[in-house]
Structure 1
Amino acid sequence: MDTLIETIKKELRNQTTIPYFGLGVFEGITTKEAEAVPHDSDSLILAMNGGRAMSPRLMFEYSRAAMHLEQRRGVEYMTQLMNHIYTKPFDPTPLHKAITDMSPRYIIDTNRDTKFQELLAYTPHCLIIGKSRIMGDLNRYEVYEYDVENQKYFLVDEEVLGTAEKILFKPMGSPLPNPSFVISDADYVDWLTEAMGGFAVPKILKTYRKTKKYLFLGTSFDRDTDRMVANELSLDLEGGYVITDKELGKKEKKFIEKHNLEVIPMSLPEFIKAFI
């Protein structure tokens, strides 16, 4: 196992494996006010609903619960709510720091926090923010370039990605530079529909990602939404790794086999301890 982990580290450093972050990386992490950071669907629903559980139908998946709240309170309310949840102060996790230190050119972060952006605050980089339900453009993303001197993001043409030294892709949104999130069923339906048409990933990345491996960290494939998102973001992959010690369901096994992924049977905390 130690040899495999060293191999993964080398692949991250030499840009042949792309790190892919999911909600599970926040398990056990708390804010500076000692509140738990959402680390799975249930905890995200609780965070959205003031700590209260919702009906079993809505507790099935956070996008469904978010859709219910959106229908009652509106899109702007959901944006403000997600911004509130993910701007509560907490430190980047040891895993965020370790991955950043390995200096991969391209990171996919499906979470909605700003930890990688904080760690890259003194590093020139490009940021891709996923968008949904926007009018007048099929592309479901915006590309920004970071000005280190002024600590600001500027909207740019996607061609700059061709020469970018670092690229952070946040397909489900972020509070920065402007709060924008893919969170409800309606958001996901729109994003995935355009993703399947080829409009959720910049062309330059479609070329760059060919034959790359992926390291799935804190990512679960037990929900259709998560599998579909991962599938669209990792097209043309060479294979990769999934860190989990949980028993896998039928659909998870099928996804893992189809994408030629190797399961590393460790809990994420065990992997992090061996990794950093």
Structure 2
Amino acid sequence: MPADIDPTDIDQIARHLNAGAIIPYLGPGLLALCADAAVPATPVALAELLTARISVPHKIRKRLTQAAQFIENFKHRKSVVNLLNEAFAATPSPSPLHLALAASGAGLWVDTWYDDTFAAALAQARPRGGWAQVQGLSQAEHFGTWFGAYGPHGEPLPDVPAAGALLYKPIGGHAPAANYLVSDSDYVEVLTEIDIQTPIPPAVQAWRGGRGFLFLGCRFDDQLTRSFARQIMKRSSGAHWAVLPDAPTRMEARFLEEQGIARIAMPLPAFADALVAALRPALAA
């Protein structure tokens, strides 16, 4: 596994971000930085919220994809979507790190949770627009179409823009169209095709070439998160980092080594403060 990065290299990460050479890859753990994160911030928390509303077998109450599949099978797909819409109806106020990343020179951000926080950060940091988002689509609702594109005000776009900044939400998101990959069947459909990159928008595939990734608020202790990260990183290059203060599990350590990701063993709030401070001079220029 690559050696833990020295915190003094945060200045280097900031320079790469502002040069567009690093792609921020955001996980649900980033919500811990928000002052009012009144939305589920882990798959377990979301599973518990769903199963508090609709009973499922006890053994899957904390397993998000299985619980969602049970509700979809025995209630309706609309029941799952309605519950997720309620869970993510509030938009947490973006943290200083969200806003700094949104205003940085990054041209692509990957957001792997359903909340609207980073889209709100982009709207604040880039009030004139110039960005779009693309979300993964469930085959249960959009058979044969793998992703949908939306403008900065939520307006549907006929295709993913070839130019401009892009927010990529591979498992969907609450706004603007309630697109969610959440059940077992949703993931089976995507994982069947993801090795050949079909579900990943060509604009994302093109942008990642020659660039590194910075993983924030992510854990890789689940096969799904590793599979998505591995395929989204495919054919990227350069240095990769992951802020991971807790000791990695055996499978996480193997994944970090396999993908050449350097671990930053700092608490996320401390790293966020340092990166925001390093980015601030360029953002003020």
TM-score (norm 1): 0.87
Show the counterpart of 1:85.
87
- Which of 132, 135, 138 lines up with 2:138 in the alignment? 132
Deviation for aligned residue 1:234: 1.1
Once residues 87 and 135 of structure 1 are traced to their aligned partners in structure 2, the CA distance between those partners, rounded to angstroms, is 20
How far has the Cα of 1:70 moved from its partner? 2.1
User: What amino acid maps onto 1:141 in structure 2?
Assistant: F
Letter in 1 for 2:195: M
Structure 1: segments with no counterpart, 5+ residues: none
Question: What is the letter of the counterpart of residue 73 of structure 1?
Answer: K
Cα drift, residue 264 of structure 1: 0.4
Distance 1:7 1:272 in 2: 14
Helix, strand or coil: the match of 2:247?
Answer: coil
Q: Do the aligned partners of 1:48 and 1:81 also contact (CA within 8 Å) in 2?
A: yes
**Could you tell me whether the CA contact under 8 Å between 1:139 and 1:194 is conserved in 2?**
no
Aligned pair in 2 of structure 1 residues 270, 47: CA closer, same or farther (>3 Å)? farther
Alignment map for 1:156-195 (pairs within 5 Å): 156-158=158-160, 160-161=161-162, 163=163, 165-195=164-194
Q: Determine the structure 1 residue equivalent to 2:107.
A: 105
User: Residues 134 and 147 of structure 2 are in contact (CA less than 8 Å); yes or no, is this contact kept in structure 1?
Assistant: yes
Report what 2:27 is aligned to. Answer: 22
TM-score norm. by structure 2 comes to 0.84
- 1:65 to 1:5, Cα distance in 2 relative to 1, 3 A: same
Are residues 1:41 and 2:43 paired? yes
CA distance in 2, matches of 1:138, 1:194: 11
The question of whether the paired residues in 1 share the 8 Å contact of 2:91 and 2:115 is answered with no
Considering Cα pairs closer than 8 Å and 6+ residues apart, tell me whether 1 or 2 has the greater RCO. Answer: 2
Task: Give the structure 2 partner of residue 229 of structure 1.
Answer: 228
- The alpha carbon displacement at 1:72 in A equals 2.7
CA distance, structure 1, for counterparts of residue 33 and residue 52 of structure 2: 19
Quick check: 214-223 or 22-31, which moved more?
22-31
Secondary structure of the 2:221 match is: coil
Contact residue 221 and residue 249 of structure 2 kept, 8 A: yes
The equivalent of 1:209 in structure 2 is: 208
> Structure 1 residues 119, 36: closer, same or farther in 2, change over 3 A?
closer
- The aligned amino acid for 1:105 is G
Question: Post-superposition shift, 1:47?
Answer: 2.5
AA partner of residue 145 (structure 1): G
Work out the CA distance in 1 between the residues paired with 2:240 and 2:58.
34
Q: RMSD of aligned C-alpha atoms?
A: 2.4
CA distance in 2, matches of 1:264, 1:88: 31
Distance 1:48 1:27 in 2: 21
CA–CA separation in structure 2 for the residues paired with 1:52 and 1:79: 13
Q: Which runs of 5+ in 2 are unaligned?
A: 1-5, 277-285
| Alpha carbons 2:47, 2:62 under 8 Å: kept | no
Q: Distance in 1 between matches of 2:45 and 2:33?
A: 11
- Report the Cα offset of residue 258 of structure 1: 0.8
What is the alpha-carbon distance in structure 1 between the residues aligned to residue 121 and residue 33 of structure 2?
A: 20
| Change in CA separation of 1:244 and 1:54 when aligned onto 2, cut-off 3 Å | farther
Do the aligned residues in 2 keep the contact of 1:140 with 1:195 (CA within 8 Å)? no
The correspondence for 2:155, drawn from 153, 156, 160, is 153
Q: Deviations over 1:45-95 (max 9, x none)?
A: 222233899766325532222222222322111111111111124312232
Percent identity over the alignment is 25
SS in 1 for 2:133: strand
The yes-or-no answer on 1:143 pairing with 2:149 is: yes
